Amino acid sequence: MTTLRFTPNLHRLVDTPSARVAGATVAQVLACYFLANPRVRGYVLDDQGAVRKHVAVFVNQELIRDRIGLSDPVGENDDIFVAQALSGG
Amino acid sequence: MSDCLWVGTRKGLFGIARDNRGRWRIAGTWFPGDPVSMLLPQRGGRRIHAALDLGHFGVKMQRSDDGGKTWRETPAPVFPPRPDGLEDKDPMRGIDIPWSSKLIWALEPGGAGDDSGELWCGVIPGGLFHSRDGGDSWTLVRSLWDHPLRKKWMGGGYDFAGIHSIMVDPRDARHVTIAVSTGGVWTTKDNGGSWALIGKGLRNAYMPPDMAGDPLPQDAHRVVHCPAKPDRLWMQHHNGIFRSDDGGEHWQELHDVPPSSFGFAVAVHPTEADTAWFVPATKDERRFPVDARLVVTRTRDGGKHFDVLSKGLPDEPAYDLIYRHGLAIAADGERLAFGSTTGSLWVSEDQGDSWQNVSKHLPPIACVRFEA
């Protein structure tokens, strides 16, 4: 199970409880999370399912490489952190 | 008579109410810090739709059914999956058009009034969405989005084209006319099943001269129709002021409008089609009031003559620009309001003859609407 956490900047807008989620890629982990938290999807991903331009997704403190397909692999004890990028807005 | 005004700003939604002494004051604030790009009061002000642009986190819709006491998030208009390999680029900039709502720019009731649940929503990058359930779900109007000429729409002030004006014919709600910056005026007679590009007589000065009269690259800044005489349309265009008497098929340009025919906003009287208001600015690179003197202009005779109205507006130099949704008229045709990029807000109770300053210190104002 991967640990998924979100920037506190999202908390005032939508409930984003941290969770332990199954999945082999970032896409799978997020898809699983969105099943239980469907409103969060539109805050993190754009209409086409890519990471929003001004959102950053880290796996173990490294930015993911595939912001469109979210195919970066994740392992059993990895951490995913969804951050507000220091840009735009 | 409407005693309540809603104002969408760069830093939240404001409710402005008239007290029993005739003063208009801030009565409520919502979504502090969040840009509100569009709003729509319905059902006598009980229902309010507010469109938020959360920047990092995308566009969102909020709805209140108790006059603003409580709000809940409703679905935002979402584009369908973009087909693999599709080329869809803004022709002016040569960059990919995102199939993703970037800004909610128009929101209007459709069907038979407030209770039909029908809504139309225009967005940047040029999508028109339709709801039949009061905004609980949205469908992209594919007949317009897939129209081959839609790919020739261009970004103007924003990177991508957007739909900012939606007029539903009160005689026949299946007749809907929209305006696009930049993409001209389009109309449907079958509730969005098919669309026609209209707009003979419009003129632009920013395309090659041979394309000046092409209806497609016309940068309509804002178009409104007279609800009682919906064939009468008024347009504030990038290159001037235009009037149509046949639902937008043909347009006449108004010349020598004082002090300038450049601007963004226009309002028309709800029953007197010859009466319309504008807030002029210096074209087009400067975009502040002519000689820094803020005025409103009004015609009562279809554009033959204009009154320049300034009573109650600043005596000192003013650099207020009024965005396209920043001027509103109430259903009684007497009260008007406008708000500026400088965060100033004025209300008139006498058709613009005099103005009351409500605030000089609001955030930059995107949209103003009286309670329906």
Residue numbers of B between 93 and 122 with CB closer than 8 Å to A: 98-101
pLDDT in tens, B103-127: 999 999 997 666 789 999 999 999 9
CB B97 within 8 A of CB A45: no
First-to-last C-alpha distance (Å) of chain A: 32
Give pLDDT, residue B44. Answer: 86
CB B340 within 8 A of CB B292: no
pLDDT in tens, B234-247: 999 999 999 999 99
Q: What is the ipTM of this complex?
A: 0.88
Say which CATH superfamily domain B4-79+91-370 falls into: YVTN repeat-like/Quinoprotein amine dehydrogenase (2.130.10.10)
pLDDT at B285 exceeding the cut of 80: no
DSSP three-state, residue B223: strand
Whether residues B78 and A42 touch (CB distance < 8 A) is answered with yes
Distance CA(B45)–CA(B27), nearest Å, equals: 14
Give pLDDT, residue B372. Answer: 75
Whether residues B98 and A54 touch (CB distance < 8 A) is answered with no
pLDDT at B57 exceeding the cut of 50: yes
Q: pLDDT category, B326, cuts 50, 70, 90?
A: very high
Rounded (5°) CA angle B127-B61-B45? 110
Average pLDDT, integer, range B159-168 = 97
Give pLDDT, residue A89. Answer: 45
Shortest Cα–Cα distance, A37 to chain B (Å): 14
Name the residue in chain A with its Cα closest to that of B35: A89
| Interface A:B, Cβ pairs < 8 A | 46
Contact list, B101 vs chain A (CB under 8 Å): 47
Distance CA(B357)–CA(B367), nearest Å, equals: 17
The tokens of B213 are what?
Answer: 């009269």
Residues with Cβ within 8 Å of residue B350, at least 6 apart in sequence: B334
Average pLDDT, integer, range B334-352 = 98
Distance CA(B31)–CA(A13), nearest Å, equals: 10
Structural domains present in chain A: 2-84 (3.10.20.30)
Give pLDDT, residue B114. Answer: 66
* DSSP character string of B37-104: EEEEEEGGGTEEEEEEE-GGG-EEEEEESSTTSS-EEEPPP-PPPPPTT---B-TTT--BPPSS--EE
pLDDT in tens, A47-56: 999 999 999 9
Mutation choice for A interface testing from B57, B99, B121, B139 by most A CBs within 10 A:
B57
- Give me the residue spans of the domains in chain B: 4-79+91-370
pLDDT at B222 exceeding the cut of 90: yes
Q: Any chain B CB within 8 A of the CB of A10?
A: yes
Average pLDDT, integer, range B329-348 = 97
Over pLDDT 90: what percentage of chain B?
93
Beta bridge pairs of residue B48: B41, B64
Distance CA(B280)–CA(B264), nearest Å, equals: 8
CB B98 within 8 A of CB B125: yes
Q: pLDDT category, A87, cuts 50, 70, 90?
A: low
Q: Any chain B CB within 8 A of the CB of A38?
A: no
Distance CA(B99)–CA(A68), nearest Å, equals: 13
Q: Any chain A CB within 8 A of the CB of B74?
A: no
Whether residues A52 and B58 touch (CB distance < 8 A) is answered with yes
Place of tokens 């920047």: B55
Partner residue opposite A39 with nearest CB, options B54, B56, B73: B73
Give pLDDT, residue B43. Answer: 87
Query: Nearest 5°: phi and psi at B150?
Result: -60, -30
pLDDT in tens, B75-89: 999 999 999 999 999
